[in-house]
Amino acid sequence: MKTSSYSGFFKLSMEERLKEVAEFSGLTDEEQAVLRSADSLDDEKADHMIENVIGKFALPMGVAINFVINGKDVVIPMVCEEPSVVAACSNAAKMARPSGGFKASSSGNVMIAQIQVLGIATPAAAKGMILEKKDEIMRICNEKDPVLVSLGGGVKDVEVRTVDTKAGTMVIVHLLVDTGDAMGANAVNTMAEAVAPFIEEVTGGTVELRILSNLADHRLVRARATWRKEDIGGEEVVEKMLSAYAFAEADPYRAATNNKGIMNGIVPVVIATGNDTRAIESGAHAYAARSGRYTSMTTWEKDENGDLVGSIEIPMAVGLVGGATKIHPAAKAAVKLLGVKTASELGQIIACAGLANNMAAMKALATEGIQRGHMSLHARNLANTVGAKGEILEKIVAQMVADKKVRIEYAQELFDKYNSERK
């Protein structure tokens, strides 16, 4: 597998797929063994990752193929429980290849630490007092993490906001911290704690909350791609997809489901690489509502050729340093599979996966409906559930899809029937 484009990849056995991916990414025998094993995370590591550990929970890891991102072929590991997600992502990427695939960029790795200051009679004056001491604030913070500073990170700026609340006007200090290739929660929280007494001294107020914000709007990634109309079904399909987008852009009820489809691409990659799904989810949805109205995370347009152009801009606070990314053996293997060296690269790939899944879902909705694509995969899951294997499983899947009766009781009925016929 020298490129991410592979015809009939889904037809291969699991072992054959792993072999191809290993060849593509240079996975060692040990790393392949990690991915084969549902128990790659040993008990000791698990017990130190979270509290009150009683066991471990496995999910399937698949790979989305066909991606070209910034001119480079990429195979994307995805961990999820939902059928059709990986296939949809791969198909959208395949349809984007003729026009060059995906282009992506990042705004940087700056996270925000918030410091809440209460009990100030003159909030506007306090804002000025804090900003006058900006250099000292930055010095105190950066002294807490000299390693980060030596790598080019650390506090880069200080902002001050006043926020009117039911509890009165609050002064909110923002530390803008370049966290490099780390997600950075621990670094920014430590800095906020360290500088809190000095801010109290400067303002005469009382500092309460001091914690990062997951609305990481200084850490954005952007991705875009063009799908030629002839590759996705023609002008009518383009117009239908634009109509679907207009609905999601205008209506929060539709936007919620549209954005869930985007997160179908994003969250599995975040999980696979050992990053924080809740941070990514909260930041993405908050950013989608930044205008005061919840709307689509993506934008869809038609270019001068009549081709479909999709783009996404989204906060992406992911890291390659610390946390599960460095602890979990499968997460480490997934990062190697991606071939990324920086958090920015990782974030860009994740955004591309989100855009691809959104495209696939919108195309399905605009053409055959969402259920058809799901049907055979769901039927396969049900056949597995009732214990079917091999030839009988394939017959049950085919029959359920043909009869449009994809239900557990029908799977059981067919399983019993085919088993009795074999006897």
Distances (CA, A) of 380 to 83, 387, 388, 418: 9, 11, 9, 16
311-332: pLDDT as tens digits: 999 999 999 988 788 889 999 9
* pLDDT band (50, 70, 90) for residue 6: confident
Domains 9-107+219-367 and 110-213 share a fold: no
**Of 396, 402, 346, 351, the residue nearest 372 (C-alpha):** 402
State how far the Cα of 367 lies from the Cα of 288, in Å rounded to an integer.
Answer: 26
d(CA 219, CA 293): 21
How big is the chain, counted in residues? 423
CA atoms of 367 and 179, how far apart (whole Å):
44
* Whether 317 contacts 177, CB under 8 Å: no
pLDDT, tens digit, 9 for 90 and up, residues 330-354: 999 999 999 999 999 999 999 999 9
Neighbours of 347 (CB within 10 A): 32
| pTM of the entire predicted model | 0.89
Q: Calculate the average pLDDT of the chain.
A: 93
Statement: residue 370 has pLDDT above 60: no
Active site residue 374: yes
What is the CATH number that goes with domain 110-213? Answer: 3.30.70.420
From the candidates 260, 303, 368, 403, give the one annotated as an active-site residue: 260
CB atoms within 10 A of CB 198: 17
Percent of the chain with pLDDT over 70: 98
**Tokens at 210, concatenated:** 């001091």
Domain 9-107+219-367 classification at class level: alpha beta
Q: Nearest-CA neighbor of 155 among 123, 126, 120, 112?
A: 112
Domain boundaries, the chain: 9-107+219-367, 110-213, 372-422
Query: Of the residues 374, 395, 405, 417, which is catalytic?
Result: 374
Catalytic position from the list 145, 181, 276, 307: 276
- Selecting among 82, 159, 231, 239, the annotated active-site residue is 82
Distance (Å, rounded) from C-alpha 302 to C-alpha 226?
Answer: 9
pLDDT in tens, 270-280: 999 999 999 99
Q: Is 260 a catalytic residue?
A: yes
pLDDT tens digits, one per residue of 7-50: 889 889 999 999 999 999 999 999 999 998 877 888 888 898 89
- Phi then psi for 113, rounded to 5 degrees? -105, 130
